[in-house]
């Protein structure tokens, strides 16, 4: 069942087209992130859902109810702002009480719900404090509690962790996600931090310049990006250009590249001769010193029928990072490939290496 | 590193500067101190040397019906100006901050004009205008409007700066929690801008109590504000009653500053 439907909304400011036909179906209890570079329209989308902006065309449905024209206070939302937006002249308890008073909840009930939600965000005993007497992380949790205490049908969060330091941010990611799952509330989360979106979300909406580049689970987006821009935005990736030489079954292809023929996986329906880029994630490539592997330099890329590809290259850069070290390898074709290696057998700059990766770990992107 | 140390060490220039500032303050405060001293002097004349401590001039002040009436009249006008400006100054500030779009800077300029235009010009302009609409100086509404116009910018500017420093997402938070426009204003916006309103109102009151030119030109016959009464008095008398009146005004101003400091804190004052 869809809890929230965003149906082809468009938004213009003057002659700037900010949102272009945005459609997102969101299931009950799902945690959906809006992810994209600065200025791509994430906040605008969220504000349309909240009712602070009105889309020029398109509809927004909460369940079956069309709220496109409803005022924010009529929508039954909880919202967490980047600046927290706590009421500075009210104590924590009064901040939480506000939404309940508006809803005419009886005083005894109010007390109980405030106590419950304060326990949930681990802030028991802080009810008499003023926001200025709290740390950033505590204010953040009060903001979360204030949004949750009214038990809204949708929780909206606009970069709530952007003002926290890195350690606290990591902690709060899991805290928010855990809380969201316990309460089971449908949530929409705006961020431009891809790592945050990856660890927290059920689904990610990757946005770019007012359009949706891809909508899917973190795994789909990471392993099967829809375009080069998505692949580049989510995690690190290598690409090798080539042409489809042959389709093998549903999603297997043989791709002709300057380094030889490579077996790769890709979306169904790519036609022979199409220009493509082969995407390989750095952690999916294994290396072996050329001398040890016994391979001849410039040997054919794919080991026939095995689904394994082997490319030769030379190390041009090696970065020590402690646990996972990084190598930059220059291929015969001139392409540079980034590879993750473990620290135990470091390779020197200038050394010849064989790069090995499976066809199922690659993904073809239209160029 | 030199930048860091120069902040700690006091150079000769720092000391000279301190002395200069102190001198300016003494120069400015000296007349005020003199007036207060003279108001407690038992001598017959508004002059030195001091003869002895006495409250007789305050007694004279409060037993003088003309001064008493003038004080009450001034308070009435100042209070009316304050209350009216509390409402329209706040509303104007909200309008300019929230709804004026293209013409915002021009509207802001017009709103603060009474502060920028010399008071006497405002007075003359209003006088012409009142004659034009056939009120003239027959009613006290004229002088009242004059006072409202001149003190308006103090409330407007203070509330504007309070609104400028106010994080509007608080209002959105209130809306998201289900509060309507009025509820949001009453429980979130108003408490946030209250210090600005209080400060602006106190300024408006003190300024209205003090201004002279507007009152001189716009007053109706037979009613004097305190500064006017004082002016009339000084033309024919030169005894310390005048000093007592001045002291009274100074006390009121200090009282206002004290109230501002106690309620909202002088630190929050920014124009
Ligand atoms: N009130 C407005 N008037 C004109 N343009 C606006 C307005 N609000 C937003 N925009 C423009 O709309 C675009 C999208 O803005 P939005 O705030 O949604 O971006 P975002 O994806 O949230 O970016 P960020 O990560 O920086 O917060 C931006 O180019 C912005 O300049
Ligand atoms: Mg944003």
Checking DSSP bridges between strand A260-265 and strand A252-257, what pairing results, if any?
A: antiparallel
Terminal C-alpha separation, chain B: 35
Helix axes A136-149, A107-120, angle to 10 degrees: 140
**Domain A236-293+307-366, CATH homologous superfamily name and number:** Nucleic acid-binding proteins (2.40.50.140)
Kindly report whether the peptide bond that precedes residue A158 is cis, defined as omega within 30 degrees of 0: no
Render pLDDT for A6-36 as a digit per residue (tens, 0 to 9).
999 999 998 999 999 999 999 999 999 999 9
Task: Return the domain boundaries, chain A.
Answer: 4-228, 236-293+307-366
The yes-or-no verdict on residue B271 having pLDDT over 70 is: no
Render pLDDT for B40-76 as a digit per residue (tens, 0 to 9).
888 777 777 777 788 888 888 888 888 889 888 999 9
Strand partners, A187: A31, A155
Phi and psi at residue B50, in whole multiples of 5°? -70, 140
Indicate the fold that domain A4-228 takes in CATH: Rossmann fold (3.40.50)
The yes-or-no verdict on residue B125 having pLDDT over 80 is: yes
Cα separation, B146 vs B152, in Å, equals 10
Assign B4 a pLDDT band (cuts: 50, 70, 90): very low
Cα separation, B65 vs B63, in Å, equals 6
Cα separation, B6 vs B13, in Å, equals 12
Q: Please state the ipTM of this predicted complex.
A: 0.82
Predicted pLDDT of residue A19: 94
HSE, CB side, 13 Å, CA atoms: give it for residue B42.
Answer: 4
Cα separation, A270 vs A255, in Å, equals 11
Assign A144 a pLDDT band (cuts: 50, 70, 90): very high
HSE, CB side, 13 Å, CA atoms: give it for residue B120.
Answer: 0
Residue closest by Cα to atom 18 of ligand 1? A41
| Domains located in chain B, CATH noted | 7-56 (no CATH), 64-268 (1.10.3720.10)
Secondary structure of residue A18 in the 3-state scheme = strand
DSSP secondary structure letters along B60-90:
HHHH-HHHHHHHHHHHHHHHHHHHHHHHHHH
Sign of CA dihedral B135, B140, B144, B150: positive
Predicted pLDDT of residue B82: 94
Identify which of B221, B76, B63 has the alpha carbon closest to the alpha carbon of residue B147. Answer: B76
Quick one: average pLDDT of B151-168?
Answer: 94
Do residues B140 and B223 touch, judged by C-beta distance below 8 A? yes
Within 8 A by CB and 6+ apart from A345, the residues are A289
DSSP state of B97: I
The yes-or-no verdict on residue B270 having pLDDT over 70 is: no
Ligand 1 atom index nearest CA of A41: 18
Cα separation, B141 vs B220, in Å, equals 9
Render pLDDT for B223-238 as a digit per residue (tens, 0 to 9).
889 889 888 888 888 7
Do residues B263 and B251 touch, judged by C-beta distance below 8 A? no
The yes-or-no verdict on residue A293 having pLDDT over 60 is: no
Cα-based angle A195, A138, A105 (whole degrees, multiple of 5): 110
Predicted pLDDT of residue B257: 79
Nearest chain B Cα distance for residue A102, angstroms = 6
Quick one: average pLDDT of B90-118?
Answer: 89
Q: Please tell me the distance between residue B47's alpha carbon and the centre of ligand 2 in angstroms.
A: 69
Check pocket membership of A46 for ligand 1, CB cut-off 6 A: no
Strand partners, A352: A314
The yes-or-no verdict on residue A298 having pLDDT over 90 is: no
Q: Mean pLDDT, chain A, as a whole number? A: 88
How far is CA A98 from each of CA A28, A112, A317, B201, B212, rounded to the nearest angstrom?
26, 14, 58, 29, 48
Q: Please tell me the distance between residue B193's alpha carbon and the centre of ligand 2 in angstroms.
A: 27
Looking up tokens 């302009």, which residue turns up?
Answer: B125
Q: Which two tokens stand for residue A259?
A: 């380094």
Assign A343 a pLDDT band (cuts: 50, 70, 90): low
Do residues B266 and B80 touch, judged by C-beta distance below 8 A? no
B217 in A contact zone (CB under 8 Å):
no
A128 in B contact zone (CB under 8 Å):
no
Structural Rg of chain B based on CA atoms: 23
Q: Which residue of A has its CA nearest to B168?
A: A85
Nearest chain B Cα distance for residue A274, angstroms = 50
The yes-or-no verdict on residue A132 having pLDDT over 70 is: yes
Residue closest by Cα to atom 28 of ligand 1? A39
The yes-or-no verdict on residue A295 having pLDDT over 70 is: no
Strand partners, A11: A19
The yes-or-no verdict on residue B256 having pLDDT over 90 is: no
Q: Mean pLDDT, chain B, as a whole number? A: 86
Render pLDDT for A176-197 as a digit per residue (tens, 0 to 9).
999 999 989 999 999 989 999 9
Nearest chain A Cα distance for residue B154, angstroms = 24
Q: Please tell me the distance between residue A39's alpha carbon and the centre of ligand 2 in angstroms.
A: 7
Predicted pLDDT of residue A301: 63
CB-neighbour burial class of residue A358 (10 A; exposed 0-12, middle 13-18, buried 19+): middle
Q: Which two tokens stand for residue B271?
A: 């124009």
């Amino acid at each position: 069942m869809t809890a929230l439907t965003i149906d082809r909304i468009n938004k213009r400011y003057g002659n700037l087209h900010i949102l272009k036909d945005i459609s997102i179906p969101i299931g009950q209890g799902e945690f959906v992130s809006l992810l994209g570079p600065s200025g791509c329209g994430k906040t605008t989308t969220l504000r349309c859902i909240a009712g602070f902006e009105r889309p020029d065309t398109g509809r927004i449905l909460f369940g079956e109810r069309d709220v496109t024209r409803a005022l924010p206070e009529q929508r039954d939302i909880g919202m967490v702002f980047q600046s927290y937006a706590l009421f500075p002249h009210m104590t924590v308890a009064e901040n939480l009480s506000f939404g309940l008073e508006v809803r005419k909840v009886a005083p005894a009930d109010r007390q109980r719900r405030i106590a419950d939600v304060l326990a949930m965000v681990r802030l028991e005993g802080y009810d008499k404090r003023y926001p200025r007497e709290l740390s950033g992380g505590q204010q953040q949790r009060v903001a979360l509690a204030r949004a949750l205490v009214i038990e809204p049908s949708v929780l909206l969060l606009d970069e709530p962790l952007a003002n926290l330091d890195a350690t606290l941010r990591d902690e709060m990611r899991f805290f928010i996600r855990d809380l969201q799952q316990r309460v089971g509330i449908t949530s929409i989360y705006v961020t431009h931090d891809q790592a945050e979106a990856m660890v927290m979300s059920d689904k990610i909406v990757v946005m770019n310049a007012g359009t949706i580049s891809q909508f899917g689970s973190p795994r789909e987006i990471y392993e099967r990006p829809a375009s080069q821009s998505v692949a580049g935005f989510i995690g690190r990736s290598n690409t090798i250009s080539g042409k489809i030489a042959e389709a093998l079954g549903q999603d297997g292809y043989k791709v002709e590249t300057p380094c030889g023929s490579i077996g790769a996986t890709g979306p169904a329906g790519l036609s022979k001769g199409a220009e493509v880029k082969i995407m390989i994630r750095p952690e999916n490539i294994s290396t072996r010193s050329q001398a040890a592997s016994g391979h001849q330099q410039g040997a054919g890329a794919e080991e026939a029928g095995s689904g394994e590809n082997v490319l030769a290259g030379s190390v041009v850069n090696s970065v020590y990072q402690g646990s996972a070290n990084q190598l930059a390898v220059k291929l015969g074709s001139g392409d540079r490939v980034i590879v993750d290696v473990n620290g135990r057998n470091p390779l020197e700059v200038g050394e010849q290496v064989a790069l090995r990766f499976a066809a199922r770990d690659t993904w073809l992107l239209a160029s | 590193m030199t930048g860091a140390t120069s902040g700690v060490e006091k150079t000769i220039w720092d000391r000279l500067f301190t002395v200069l500032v102190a001198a300016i303050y003494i120069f400015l405060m000296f007349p005020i101190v003199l007036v207060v001293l003279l108001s407690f002097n038992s001598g017959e004349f508004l002059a030195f040397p001091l003869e002895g401590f006495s409250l007789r001039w305050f007694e004279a002040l409060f037993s003088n019906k003309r001064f008493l009436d003038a004080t009450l009249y001034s308070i009435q006008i100042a209070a009316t100006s304050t209350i009216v400006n509390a409402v329209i100054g706040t509303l104007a500030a909200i309008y300019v901050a929230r709804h004026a779009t293209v013409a915002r800077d021009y509207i802001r300029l017009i709103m603060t004009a009474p502060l920028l235009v010399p008071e006497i010009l405002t007075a003359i302009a209003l006088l012409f205008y009142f004659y034009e609409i056939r009120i003239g100086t027959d009613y006290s509404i004229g002088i009242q409007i004059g006072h409202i116009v001149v003190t308006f910018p103090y409330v407007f500017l203070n509330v504007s700066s309070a609104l400028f420093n106010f994080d509007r997402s608080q209002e959105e938070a209130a809306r998201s929690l289900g509060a309507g426009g009025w509820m949001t204003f009453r429980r979130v916006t108003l408490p946030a801008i209250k210090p600005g309103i209080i400060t602006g109102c106190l300024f408006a009151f003190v300024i209205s109590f003090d201004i002279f030119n507007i009152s001189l030109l716009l007053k109706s016959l037979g009613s004097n504000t305190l500064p006017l009464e004082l002016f009339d008095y000084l033309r024919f008398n030169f005894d310390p009653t005048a000093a007592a009146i001045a002291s009274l005004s100074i006390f009121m101003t200090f009282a206002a500053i004290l109230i501002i400091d106690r309620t909202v804190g002088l630190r929050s004052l920014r124009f």
